[in-house]
Amino acid sequence: MSERMIDAVLPRLTARIHQVMAQQGVPGVAVGLIEDQQVLWSGGFGYADVDSGRAMDADAICGVASITKTFTATAITQLRDQGRLSLDDPVSRYIPEIRKVRRRFGTLKDLTLRRLMTHRSGLVGEAPTGHWWEMKFPSVAQILALLPAVEIVVEPDSIFKYNNLAFVLLGEVIARVTGGSYRNYIRRRILRPLQMLSSGFDLANPRAATGYMPERYQDVPEVSPDPHTNGYLAAAGLRSCVTDLAKWVSLQFRTGQTKRSGAQVLSGKSLSEMHRITFVEPDWLAGYGLTWMASRIGENVYHHHGGSVPGFLSMVAFSKPHKLGVVVLTNKQGNVASGAIAFEALEMLTAEAKKETKPESPQPTPANLKPLVGRYVGMPAFGVIFHIEWRDGALRLALPADPFMIPMPPTALLATDKPEVFVIEAGRWAGEPLTIELDSNGRVSGFQMSAHGGRFRKTE
């Protein structure tokens, strides 16, 4: 993305950030704009600490809350890739204490790692300790001791039920499988390889921003309690900054890498698996993958995860098609500033990216492919009509528009070493051959789709 595009976005984004801060009484906001493997711009607004007048910037350390869950899920996926566990394993295989959980629905076998990662386990969302209002978080041992008071309260897989307790359990799985602590695993296997050296789980840091309480009636809100999350470390305990989280966003775009190595802490295939939306809400405006969430805004779909802990609100969001991302950290809990800023920034960035995308000049159909282009009807009474078209520099198989049928996107026909045989790239017949047939005069008469997909006669 060019500097011109950043210049076009920053004034509008800056004005919007100041507006949100004033409306919601947010002391400080740190923002990073990312394109693929580079930071386009990062900076801060307002104060990291009001009393001292210390300015907020991209290196200010904030509690990133539930963004921690994306690191926990990545660690579980790493261990899966190493063959040390399966995502469909029951939790009881690693945490036998879970057998004491009460079950209004389902069985213990339904309580799998995958369902914990996707908030589909049906478990109650919190440990029964009152930690969010007492500001005193229990240890893992205390949480495990209280499992007899925990219950599966809805049918597993029936709904999305956001669940902090699930990630407490996933953190303990990581610790037990690796024989070490959760925090050490995340530090060694994710943070260090990515050079996220300012990130960790310790509260004391000279660059830490001060967190503030929700407040509507004073210019300066009260300083928030800052409790250690203890047993909730794997659900909400990470401390980080915009500079480091920009590296986390850039990792999400490296889905073409085949192997895990160094800063590629997860293979491209596994990254894509984590992004893949497997559940959607009935209105199709929100969906869920392996911990990453996705929201549809107009024509754009953004992956994201936010978080809230005492004193801080955070959001990481990115567009996979455009390889654009945003990190927003604020030091006041109880507002919607981070999400509002993040999604509006992405909308601005993607709009500018679309302006820069210049349509390619139409390419004429190659002479050897021109005889293939046309209308094909299924034989003898199959009834389906296909078009073979030359569009955007590629040979494509397409269904003509029909108001009574679900539209099928056109798919490319990939050339092979045989001029009459193509491979269908996507859709129902993906990976299968399409063989062009000729009549006695050597003219294209139709095609056969795989061995059993039917024959089609060329009519136009």
What CATH number has the domain bearing residue 406?
Answer: 2.40.128.50
Name the residue with higher pLDDT: 270 or 221.
270
Q: Considering the domain boundaries, does residue 419 fall inside one? A: yes
CA atoms within 13 A on the CB side of 89: 18
Residues 88 and 13 in one domain: yes
pLDDT at 49: 97
Judge whether residue 15 has pLDDT over 70.
Answer: yes
Least confident range of 2-6, 103-107, 133-137, 266-270: 2-6
The structure tokens listed for 308 are 């809230």
User: Are 288 and 118 contacting, i.e. CB atoms less than 8 angstroms apart?
Assistant: yes
Name every residue whose Cβ is closer than 8 Å to that of residue 305 and which is 6 or more positions away in sequence: 66, 67, 69, 70, 291, 292, 293, 315, 316
More confident residue, 243 or 103: 243
Burial profile 192-218: b = 16 or more Cβ within 10 angstroms, e = fewer: eebebebbbbeeeeeebbbbbeebeee
Same domain, 278 and 249: yes
Residue 69 lies in a domain: yes
Q: What is the pLDDT of residue 438?
A: 95
Bridge partners (DSSP) of residue 434 are 422, 449
Q: Is residue 18 part of a domain?
A: yes
Tell me the two tokens of residue 119.
Answer: 């908030």
Q: Average of pLDDT values for 93-117? A: 94
Residue 349 belongs to domain with CATH number: 3.40.710.10
Would you say residue 242 has pLDDT above 80?
A: yes
Instruction: Clarify whether residues 396 and 298 are in a common domain.
Output: no
Domain holding 208, by residue range, is 3-356
Tokens of 150: 């925990």
Q: For residue 240, which phi and psi values (nearest 5 degrees)?
A: -155, -175
* Confidence tier at 203 by pLDDT (50, 70, 90): confident
Domain shared by 406 and 290, yes or no = no
pLDDT-derived band at 335 (thresholds 50, 70, 90) equals: confident
Q: Give pTM, 2 decimals.
A: 0.89
Q: Is residue 347 within 8 Å of residue 297, measured between CB atoms? A: yes
CA distance 113 to 169: 9
Q: What is the pLDDT of residue 382?
A: 58
Residue 226: pLDDT band by 50, 70, 90 thresholds? very high
Structure confidence at residue 3 as a pLDDT band (50, 70, 90) = confident
Whether 290 and 273 have beta carbons less than 8 Å apart is answered as yes
Give pLDDT, residue 400. Answer: 87
Phi, psi (deg, nearest 5) at residue 114 = -60, -45
Residue 42 has pLDDT above 80, yes or no: yes
State the pLDDT at residue 77.
Answer: 98
271-329: pLDDT as tens digits:
999 999 999 999 999 999 999 999 999 999 999 999 999 999 999 999 999 999 999 99
Same domain, yes or no, for 343 and 391?
no
Is the pLDDT assigned to residue 381 strictly greater than 60?
Answer: no
Please list, residue by residue across 89-124, b when 16 or more beta carbons sit within 10 angstroms of its beta carbon and e when fewer do. Answer: ebbeebbebbeebeeeebeeebbbbbbbbbbbbbbb
Lowest average pLDDT, out of 296-310, 329-343, 375-389, 427-441, goes to: 375-389
Element housing 4 (H / E): helix 3-24
Q: Are residues 107 and 137 located together in one domain of the fold?
A: yes
User: Can you give the pLDDT at residue 429?
Assistant: 86
Which has the minimum average pLDDT: 41-55, 278-292, 344-358? 344-358
The number of folded domains in the chain is: 2
Q: Are residues 349 and 381 in the same domain?
A: no
**Per-position DSSP letters for 366-435, written without gaps between them:** PTTTGGG-EEEEEETTT--EEEEEEETTEEEEEPPP-TTS-----EEEEE-SSTTEEEE-SSTTTT-EEE
Whether residue 186 lies inside any domain: the answer is yes
Strands 455-458 and 444-449: antiparallel
pLDDT of residue 172: 98
Please tell me the distance from the alpha carbon of residue 55 to that of residue 166, in angstroms, as a whole number: 36
**Within this chain, do residues 296 and 173 fall inside the same structural domain, yes or no?**
yes
Q: Is 302 within a domain? A: yes
Q: Mean pLDDT across the chain, nearest whole number?
A: 93
User: What mean pLDDT comes out for the span 344-365?
Assistant: 86
Peptide bond into 380 cis (omega under 30): yes
The C-alpha R_g of the chain, in whole angstroms, comes to: 26
Residue 1 pLDDT class (50, 70, 90 cuts): low
Q: Among residues 305, 186, 175, which one has the least CA distance to residue 252?
A: 305
User: What is the per-residue DSSP string for 69-86?
Assistant: HHHHHHHHHHHHHTTS--
pLDDT band at 88 (very low <50, low <70, confident <90, very high): very high
Lowest mean pLDDT, pick from 61-70, 349-358, 371-380: 349-358
Q: What pLDDT shows up at residue 264? A: 97
How many CB atoms sit inside 10 A of residue 278's CB?
12
| Percentage, residues of the chain above pLDDT 70 | 97
Please tell me whether residues 192 and 47 are part of one structural domain: yes
- CA 412, distance to chain mean position in Å, is 27
Assess whether 188 and 224 both reside in one domain.
Answer: yes
168 and 231 in a single domain? The answer is yes
Residue 146 domain flag: yes
411-421: pLDDT as tens digits: 999 999 999 99
CB 415 within 8 A of CB 435: no
Instruction: Examine residue 361 and state whether it is found in any structural domain, yes or no.
Output: no
Task: Tell me the DSSP string of 105-116.
Answer: SS-GGG-BHHHH
**Which of left, alpha, beta for 179 (phi over 0: left; psi -120 to 50: alpha)?**
left
